Amino acid sequence: MRIDGKVVLITGASEGIGAACAREFAASGAKLSLIARNEEGLRQAGGPDALVTAGDLTSDEARRRAVDRTLERYGRIDILINNAGVGIYQPSWEMPLEEARYLMELNFFAPLAMTQLVAPHMRAQHSGAIVNVGSIGGKVVLPWMTLYSVTKAALNALTEGQRMELMGSGVRTMIVCPGYVQTGFQKNVRAGHTPEQVQKARRWAISPETCAEAIRRGVERDARTVVTPRSGWLLVLAMRLFPSIVEGRMAKINGTA
C-alpha cells in the first residue's frame, strides 16, 4: 500500500512508538488522526495539520468520537494502527484480577473495538490496513510480565484470524512484534520493576523511530508480521526448536530458577 495521501488513525500516539509512527507516516505523506489521553503530546507528535482527539481508549465514547471525527474530516480511514497499550511486572498468580482485566481491556479489547468501528468503512471502500502493535512477548512469553504477554498473544491471534475473515475484501491485517524499544513503557507500567538483566539489555534496544520505520515499511509491502529488530525471529525460532532451554533461560533472567 502506498502511504502518500492515505488517512492513518493511530491510537496511543502521544509518545513512544505511536508518536514515532505519527512522524513517520506524516513524512510519507499521510493524513493523521491521533488519539491518546495526552492532548499536548498528540499535538507535538502530529503537528498543526493532524486531527487530535484526547480520550481514554478504554472508553467506548472516546473510541467512537475518534472514528467519527476522522470520517467527518477526511471521509475515509485507510490505515488503523492499534498502538495503545500498557504493561505490568507482576506474577500472574498474585496479580489482582482487576489489574489483569484492565490489561486485557486496553491491550486487547480496545484494539478489537477500534477494528469493529473501522472495518465496515474499509470494507465499503474495498481497501484498508489494520495494524496491531503487539510484542515479541506475544510470540515468546516473558515470565516477568506473563499477563502482558497473554494480551499480546491474544492480539496476535486476533490479527491472524481477522486476516482470514477479511480475505477478499481488500482489507489486510498486520501484527507488529517489537522487542526492547527505548520508550517510556517501563515508567508507565502499572506495577513492579523489570529484572536486572532485562534492564541491562536496554543498551541493545531499538529506537521508537526504528520501530515506526519498520511498521511503515511493513504496511507498504503488505506484510503479515513485522518483528523488529529482525533478530527477534531468532528467539521465536529457538523457542520452537528448544523450548525447555529457552524456558530455563527465561526463568533464570526472571530470578525464579
pLDDT tens-place string over residues 89-127: 889 999 999 999 999 999 999 999 999 999 999 999 999
- Domain annotation for the chain: domains and CATH numbers: 7-230 (3.40.50.720)
Please state the rounded mean pLDDT for residues 68-76: 98
Q: pLDDT at position 205, please?
A: 85
On the question of pLDDT at 198 being above 90, the answer is: no
Per-residue confidence band for 190, with pLDDT thresholds at 50, 70 and 90: low
Q: pLDDT at position 150, please?
A: 97
Q: Which of 74, 89, 102, 148 is catalytic?
A: 148
Per-residue pLDDT of 208-235, as tens digits, reads: 999 999 999 999 999 999 999 999 999 9
Q: pLDDT at position 39, please?
A: 96
Q: pLDDT at position 182, please?
A: 83
Q: pLDDT at position 202, please?
A: 64
180 is catalytic: no
Please state the rounded mean pLDDT for residues 21-31: 98
**What is the pTM (predicted TM-score) of this model?**
0.93
Q: Which residue has the higher pLDDT, 246 or 188?
A: 246
Contact by Cβ (8 Å): 122, 165 = no
On the question of pLDDT at 186 being above 90, the answer is: no
Q: pLDDT at position 54, please?
A: 98
On the question of pLDDT at 163 being above 90, the answer is: yes
On the question of pLDDT at 203 being above 80, the answer is: no
